Copies of this chain bind each other. A is one copy, B any other.
Amino acid sequence: MSVRRVTSQDVAEHAGVSQSAVSRVFTPGASVSKKMEARVRASAEALGYRPNVLARSLITGRSRIIGLVVAYLDNQFYPEALERLSRALQAEGYHVLVFMSREGEDLDEVIQEILDYQVDGIVAASVSMSDELARRCRAAGKPVVLFNRGQEDAGLAQVTSANRAGGRKVAAHFVAAGHKRIAHISGWAGSMTGRDRAAGFAEGLKAAGVPLLEIVDGEYRWERAAEAARWLMAEIKPDAIFVGNDVMAFSVMDTLRFELGLRVPQDVAVVGYDDVAMAAWPAYDLTTVRQPADRMVRATVELLLERIETPSAAPRRIEIDGPLVRRGSTSAEVKA
């Protein structure tokens, strides 16, 4: 019943060599003669041997596992990023072990579990980390990269898009189109991404001398965004709304069109943030600031590997700029 695994010892016996020799054949960069390599590989092939990654990690101290903490996958941006991240790491010989956490729930337990697996590094996507946790990861020698969520305090590596600049781009776009009544449904105020986008937007409007009539926290939630839209249209009556991410922007557009009977962009212009695949679909055709998932993921992998190779390297912060993608949810005409 029990399945006997094929071990390097078995291969060694079959090939009539020592176990060390087998190990060396499967260790890149080790010293093995051509002849030895051929013999061992033949035996390994015959027996169907492959090194046990876990046993190997025990001695090398490298598991080739990266822990990923993520709170939810219903914002399209995250599956997209996860897919790319997984592929990129796979190409480097690493694999992603997934840990779901809930916003608000204490990360402690989750991080402990991650560390139990002796991961080589941790990517925390859209979750914030307490200083205490960061300290513990440092103590364990595990590099952490925050993905798409900045943090002021802790000395953590992080990759974000240029959220502040993005907010300014949206402001400039609204101003150029001549909008006067402008509002913002922000990303969760507890997140730096949300705050930065809002801050950049406010800055940009201020610089142009156009007032920002109202900011409502949409908490990155579909339902909250819809409520915010209803309230804004009842109380403020803006003619342009910048929404903190695409998913909320879709919610806002649906509310405007199907519940309030308004036209986008003629009655209200809407801009989102992320540029997920759906933003380009005709039903929404959403003007939005692109977060270049591809480049963000590449930067994340780079940072992670850098710190795995060189644990002494200081944690860096990388910010990636993304363009404003103009589509039909904002009008093209520029008023003078």
| B83–A100 touching, CB < 8 Å | yes
A135 to chain B, nearest CB (A): 11
Given A50-B115, A281-B250, residue A95 in contact with residue B97 (CB < 8 A):
yes
A interface residue numbers (CB < 8 A to B):
1-3, 5, 48, 50-55, 57-58, 63, 65, 72-74, 76, 78-80, 82-83, 86-87, 90, 95-100, 112-113, 115-118, 139-141, 250-251, 253-255, 257-259, 277-278, 281-284, 311-312
| A258–B277 touching, CB < 8 Å | no
Given A58-B58, A254-B281, residue A98 in contact with residue B100 (CB < 8 A):
no
Identical chains in the assembly: 2
Which of B80, B96, B254 interacts with A283 by CB under 8 Å?
B254
**In the complex, which residues of chain B have a beta carbon less than 8 angstroms from the beta carbon of A116?**
50-53
A73 and B48 CA atoms in complex are apart in Å by 32
Give the top 3 A-B pairs by smallest Cβ distance, nearest first.
A3-B141, A79-B79, A258-B282
Which of B5, B50, B58, B80 interacts with A74 by CB under 8 Å?
B80
Which of B51, B99, B254 interacts with A95 by CB under 8 Å?
B99
Which of B100, B117, B258 interacts with A54 by CB under 8 Å?
B117
A61 to chain B, nearest CB (A): 8
| B50–A54 touching, CB < 8 Å | no
| A52–B86 touching, CB < 8 Å | no
| A3–B283 touching, CB < 8 Å | no
